[in-house]
Chains A and B, each alone.
Chain A
Amino acid sequence: MISARPVRLTVNGTQTTVTVEPRATLADALRNELRLTGTHLGCEHGVCGACTVIVDGAAIRACLMLAVQAEGAEITTVEGLGSAAHLSALQLAFRKHHALQCGFCTAGILTTAHALLTDEPHADEDRIREVISGNLCRCTGYLPIIAAIMEARIAYSDVQCEAAQ
């Protein structure tokens, strides 16, 4: 029997330790141990993008990373982007543009877009389309998603300019 082991993580700014078997993916650890069920598991083999979270600044598929591989990492999930009372600019843009319908893919698209715009606040439409091509959405037809991300760019470019100076 392979025993569970402790893994130290910082999730949405809070340090925590989860105890998981090595075969647990990061998505499993977030959902089952930390009850952060905003991270959705669609395909569990790296195709749909629904489980995207941000690990040390980089968007990754949480179903393709073992939790034990995230030892010491800083992780942002959709719960870390905003709250129901204080939606982020990106989330507000999604609401305004009706960029979600069933919502299953939305967490992964929000985290992907957040990572992209944090790195590349001036990403053009082609770049946004290329990046979002890794996230499957069966409802929206993508156009409102692209529109929402395009509109949210301004909120990130201000931050970026301050950081650059």
Chain B
Amino acid sequence: MKLPPLDYICPATLTEAIAALAVHGGNAKVIAGGQSLVPMLAFRLAAPSVLVDIGQLPDLKSISISAEGIDFGALVTWRDIECDTRLAQVHPLLAAAIAHVAHYQIRNRGTVGGSMAHADPAAEMPGIAVTCDAMLTIVGPNGTRILRADEFITGGLSTVLEADEILTSIRLPLWKKARRWAFEEFAPRHGDFALAGVAAFYDIDAQGLAYNAHIGVIGVADRPMRLPGVEAVLDGRRIDADVILQAAAAARDAVDPADDIHAEAAYRRDLLGVLLERALARAADITLPEAA
């Protein structure tokens, strides 16, 4: 369907952008790549009277790596991440997850900031941000605030962003070199929304035991979330087939997905267990028995 009538502003600075949002209150919406917002407009799920395009703002397009972490400007696209050869080393979990995001054409326009602000429960970037304790920088008329990803997302397509605030950057903590990790998701067609997905990592101590386990899931709740009960199964254990099966059982128990047109709740719950088994087996570099 054609988009609803709306006005369009393309400010040159962040200050101007925030001022424009403040003037229009809740009737304005920030647009960058538009890969989530424009379909929302087409479906009338959103009908702002003004779009404030942040696509021309300076300094939001870079990926920088420092001792503090890996910083992604809000306007970094999936294609930028795909083409940044440092990331496969510096954050392999992110690189693996982003390979699943959308299709070729959308990857050229879609942005990390847009994905976070849209907060689709099945989207990969919010899933990685929550799994890895990413910190998000938000700028508004009263200054800057920094929030952890799980504080930022408040539900399906919902965040703490006020009408006059803009998400400007996302910082992932640095990645430990010897970390074990895997990303698994299932979508009917590559690039479509995942029916379920798992981002998993843990570190190994001198005794060969896992610690610092982070297990994040997408597509099985109204928002991406970590599963502390599953992490507790892994921490302090040597990751073998038995532990993996226990972890998968804990994951199935921990989630309560909804039925929808794409899959029944029971299917999603079972799928999550299978994906977690695959992810942990890959992370531990072991082969699970067939019966599993």
Contact = CB atoms under 8 A, between A and B. Distances in A.
Interface of A: 2, 21-25, 28, 44-46, 49, 52, 58-61, 63-66, 68-69, 71, 112, 116, 130-131, 133-134
Interface string B96-124: 00000011111011000000000000000
Given A61-B106, A65-B109, A68-B10, A25 B3 contact: yes
Interface string B70-113: 00000000010000000000000000000000111110110000
Given A22-B8, A44-B42, A64-B39, A112 B105 contact: yes
A22 B51 contact: yes
22 contacts: A2-B7, A22-B51, A23-B6, A24-B3, A44-B42, A46-B35, A52-B105, A58-B108, A59-B108, A60-B108, A60-B109, A61-B109, A64-B35, A64-B38, A64-B106, A64-B109, A65-B109, A66-B3, A71-B10, A133-B103, A133-B189, A134-B102
Given A22-B6, A46-B106, A69-B53, 15 more contacts: A44-B42, A45-B39, A46-B38, A60-B108, A61-B109, A64-B34, A64-B38, A64-B39, A66-B38, A69-B31, A69-B34, A116-B104, A131-B103, A131-B104, A134-B106
B104 A134 contact: yes
Given A45-B42, A59-B108, A64-B109, A134 B103 contact: yes
Contacts of A46: 35, 38-39, 106
A112 B4 CA distance: 28
Contacts of B39: 45-46, 64
Contact of A134 (B2, B42, B105): B105
B1 interface: yes
Contact of A130 (B5, B35, B55, B190): B190
Contacts of B189: 133
A2, A52, A66, A130: which has the most chain B beta carbons within 10 Å?
A: A66
A60 to B, nearest CB: 5
Contacts of A133: 103, 189-191
Contact of B2 (A28, A68, A69, A112): A28
A59, A61, A116: which has the most chain B beta carbons within 10 Å?
A: A61
B104 A112 contact: yes
Given A69-B34, A116-B104, A22 B190 contact: no
B43 interface: yes
Interface string B140-177: 00000000000000000000000000000000000000
A2, A69, A71: which has the most chain B beta carbons within 10 Å?
A: A69
A49 to B, nearest CB: 6
Contacts of A22: 6-8, 51
Given A49-B103, A58-B108, A61-B105, A68 B38 contact: no
Contact of B5 (A23, A49, A59): A23
Contacts of B4: 23
B17 to A, nearest CB: 15
Contacts of B103: 49, 131, 133-134
Contacts of A52: 105
Interface string B12-43: 00000000000000000001001100110111
B31, B38, B102: which has the most chain A beta carbons within 10 Å?
A: B38
Nearest to B104: A131
Contacts of A116: 104
A131 B189 CA distance: 12
Given A66-B38, A134-B191, A23 B2 contact: yes
Given A45-B39, A46-B38, A21 B104 contact: no
A66 B105 contact: no
Contact of A21 (B5, B55, B102, B108): B5
Contacts of A49: 103, 105
